[in-house]
Structure 1
Amino acid sequence: MKRIIAALILVVLVGAGLWWLLAPAPAPMGQRPPTVVNLAPSIERSLFDRVEAVGTARAAQAVMILTEVPGRVAQIHFRQGQKVEQGKVLVTLDDRNARAELARSEAEYQRALNDFQRGQKLVKSRAISQSEVDTFRTTLDGAKASRDAARANLNDHTIRAPFAGVVGLRQVDAGGYLQTGDAITTLDNLGYIEVDFQVPERYLARLVSGLPVQARNEAFPDQVFEGTITDLDSRVSTASRSLTARARLENPQDRIRPGQFLRVSVQLAERDALLVPEQSIITQGAQSYVFTVTGDNTAERHPVTLGGRRDGWVEITSGLTGQPDVVVNGHSRLGSGQAVQVLDNPEALLPGQRALLEPASPDADQADSEAAA
């Protein structure tokens, strides 16, 4: 029994000695253990400054087809919603009276012409005076004007498309009597669309004709309508302190119709930008910070100024030099100079953010700087 007790005491003493030798040194009093953090790289990518605005689509050419002379509708030559070419006959009015009037005016013109030609011969032989020839000349001019007016009146009985486009709903029926100015239908050129939108005056120095424009509509969420700014207004609105810009957009398959709501994005400029993941930003009041890790595994806080955003990344315009790795996890209560333990975590970035780590392509550089109008 005594031997067993002695053996147990020996085992306990040996175990205590090993623990004392191998146990880690305790942290100094008041020092926190290292904070576990994840790092992600900062990257340099192209960034577009954009202005976001809204506007209403309208056809680049749009008219209401009206009658210019009164008359009864003889025939309708179009279908509602039909595409027509320039000069296409849309409606013909009963023109029997107009044709008769033209025949009468042409007869009067021919008689006046004959009288004038006869007078020119007689004045040479002094059979009549020059004043009589001048009277024949005046009568001829009046007859010619009456003939031209009769021709125009006859032509106005045939209503044609002034340009190529799409006709709207029909407002008349065959056999109906129309007065001057009555509406027949609408005609819109939908080959391209125009949109007017407001741009805040602070962007005027960079706003010029020819800037690229993209527009979207909720009816076609997966389609972007491309175009350019064509015109700028000459005045800034005193009420909104903004300038009206007009853009022309391509309209494939005539999808956008006049009156539709559009979200417009204007690309002002392109620049190279230093980007960090959004989750690396710590904001305290009006100041934003990011943390990096020094060579001795301590945290370093950097006050930074933020710029544009793109795909879950934020532009750093000042406060960070080079392209250092930044802390994206574990920095909510981190302080400058605090010890850290860096752990590799491939899931620290979101899938959309990881996509931007690939080399940039021209099509992928279409980013915005949250310059909302």
Structure 2
Amino acid sequence: MNSRNERKPSTTKRMILMIALVGGFLAVLIAWNIVGKMMGQNAAANMPVQPQTVTSMKVGTQLWQPEQNSVGSLRAVQGADLAFDVGGVVTAVKAKSGQQVEKGQLLIELNADDIIAERRQLEANAALLKLNLDRARKQLSYKGISQAEVDTAEANYKAAQAGISQQQALIDKRQLRAPFSGRIGIISITPGSYVRVGDAVVTLQQLDPILVDLNVPQDKLGEIKTGQAAVLSLDSFPDHPFLGEITAISPKLDPGTRNAQVEASVPNPDELLKPGMFARVAVQVGEQKPNLTLPQSAITFNPYGETVFLVKRSGKKDEKGKPEMPTAQSVFVTTGAKRGDQIAVLSGIKEGDEVVTSGQLKIKNGTPLIIDTSTAPPDDAAPTPQEK
């Protein structure tokens, strides 16, 4: 019994000793890690920040014309799909597809032989009635007949002339003429084709000038006035803006959209613009205003706001007598309208500030900068495609 009681204290001491050893080992490891991290942080803090190559430019002021942008649809000043009032067989096509025609020019004829024959018969009868009228007037001069007989002869002659005019009108209905000067479209019918009443046989469009319809919202309508310049840009002619002017503003708004229809007229001497085309329209409103501008690549857009990096130069020299490298400083800015590659900056910087225009992703506050202007980003308010 005594030997068992003597072993218990010995076992307990060994367990306490093992726990103490393990605890001490863990304490040493934790201390080592803490010291290592502190040494690493101190070493990183003492390591110099590597300079980064960026492009930069001085902030300048440019005069920008305020614009109100919209989209529009082109239509002809005069345009119509021409059709016959009567049906019939085509006997002649007097115009070619795509031809420029003048007002009143004959385009297409339908068969009118029977009506022409009736008109000739009426003309012969009218000629006879004219002779009778002339004889009646001579007889009246020496009292050979009464005035009533002369009046009857004159009425008969006028009725015959009216009949001729009626037949001529029926003939004219079978002749399709241009109601105004313009360019005709594709003519797909040929002599021998049968045309039904009301079938459109050819389109006629007056292309110079051409009109563009655009919708302006109610809150912007006060800026629009007739006579203002309107610049059209189309995907079909990316390097060719078209200049026109506002000619009319609708006196009422669409109650569904609260938009007003606005019309602009655009010279089109080369007939590059066609009815039905889609165009982007920039209406120049108000007077030109100065704006601080930067390339859009200089702006870093973040959820919490837009920023730019300023190039800060200390003016000091290093130990070798060379100017110290400039450093980056981030500032918040407020941006405005865009023009091509440029963007207006409303606040946050001033004219003459030097701003990083590319390479922002690899710098932060205090990063030394190497300025390289040989690869500056585009900075054009009205860029045009470049031939490769």
Structure 2 CA distance for aligned equivalents of residues 311 and 222 of structure 1: 12
Q: How does 1:1-373 map to 2 (within 5 A)?
A: 40-110=57-127, 113=130, 118=136, 122=140, 125=143, 128=146, 138-210=155-227, 211-218=229-236, 220-251=237-268, 253-269=270-286, 270-278=288-296, 281=299, 288=306, 305-318=334-347, 322-326=351-355, 329=360, 334=365, 343=369, 345-347=371-373, 350-353=376-379
Note if contact 2:58-2:351 (Cα within 8 Å) is conserved in structure 1.
no
Give the gaps of 5 or more residues in structure 1: 1-29, 335-339, 357-364, 368-373
In structure 1, the residue corresponding to 2:117 is in which secondary structure? helix
1:93-139 per-position Cα deviation (integer Å, ceiling 9, x unaligned): 23322222222333444455556663697499595366x66655554
In structure 2, the residue corresponding to 1:227 is in which secondary structure? strand
- Of 121-130 and 260-269, deviating more is 121-130
* Amino acid of the structure 1 residue aligned with 2:58: P
Note if contact 1:290-1:302 (Cα within 8 Å) is conserved in structure 2.
yes
Q: What is the total number of aligned residue pairs between the two structures? A: 322
Q: In structure 2, do the counterparts of structure 1 residues 134 and 319 end up closer, same or farther at CA, with 3 Å as the change threshold?
A: farther
Aligned to 1:13: none
Structure 2 CA distance for aligned equivalents of residues 258 and 366 of structure 1: 26
Question: CA RMSD of the aligned region, Å?
Answer: 4.3
Deviation at 1:214, TM superposition (A): 1.6
Note if contact 2:66-2:284 (Cα within 8 Å) is conserved in structure 1.
yes
- Of 199-208 and 183-192, deviating more is 183-192
The structure whose RCO (Cα within 8 Å, separation 6+) is larger is 1
Q: In structure 2, do the counterparts of structure 1 residues 169 and 321 end up closer, same or farther at CA, with 3 Å as the change threshold?
A: closer
Structure 1 CA distance for aligned equivalents of residues 110 and 74 of structure 2: 34
Deviation at 1:185, TM superposition (A): 2.0
Q: In structure 2, do the counterparts of structure 1 residues 128 and 50 end up closer, same or farther at CA, with 3 Å as the change threshold?
A: same
Structure 2 CA distance for aligned equivalents of residues 261 and 175 of structure 1: 38
1:250-293 per-position Cα deviation (integer Å, ceiling 9, x unaligned): 44654444333333333334332222444555667676566768
Note if contact 1:89-1:161 (Cα within 8 Å) is conserved in structure 2.
yes
Q: In structure 2, do the counterparts of structure 1 residues 148 and 306 end up closer, same or farther at CA, with 3 Å as the change threshold?
A: same
Structure 2 CA distance for aligned equivalents of residues 92 and 283 of structure 1: 67
Note if contact 1:273-1:315 (Cα within 8 Å) is conserved in structure 2.
yes
Q: In structure 2, do the counterparts of structure 1 residues 246 and 341 end up closer, same or farther at CA, with 3 Å as the change threshold?
A: same
Structure 2 CA distance for aligned equivalents of residues 312 and 183 of structure 1: 47
Note if contact 1:123-1:133 (Cα within 8 Å) is conserved in structure 2.
no
Structure 1 CA distance for aligned equivalents of residues 341 and 187 of structure 2: 51
Structure 2 CA distance for aligned equivalents of residues 136 and 45 of structure 1: 86
* Amino acid of the structure 2 residue aligned with 1:148: S
Deviation at 1:75, TM superposition (A): 1.9
* Amino acid of the structure 2 residue aligned with 1:194: L
Q: In structure 2, do the counterparts of structure 1 residues 46 and 366 end up closer, same or farther at CA, with 3 Å as the change threshold?
A: farther
Structure 1 CA distance for aligned equivalents of residues 309 and 337 of structure 2: 19
In structure 1, the residue corresponding to 2:255 is in which secondary structure? coil
Q: In structure 2, do the counterparts of structure 1 residues 332 and 141 end up closer, same or farther at CA, with 3 Å as the change threshold?
A: farther
Note if contact 2:230-2:281 (Cα within 8 Å) is conserved in structure 1.
no
Deviation at 1:315, TM superposition (A): 1.7
Note if contact 2:243-2:266 (Cα within 8 Å) is conserved in structure 1.
yes
* Amino acid of the structure 1 residue aligned with 2:98: G
Deviation at 1:234, TM superposition (A): 2.5
For the pair shown, the structure with the greater C-alpha radius of gyration is: 2
Q: In structure 2, do the counterparts of structure 1 residues 208 and 332 end up closer, same or farther at CA, with 3 Å as the change threshold?
A: farther
TM-score, length-scaled by structure 2: 0.64
Q: Percent identity?
A: 27
TM-score, length-scaled by structure 1: 0.66
1:232-262 per-position Cα deviation (integer Å, ceiling 9, x unaligned): 3232222222222233344465444433333
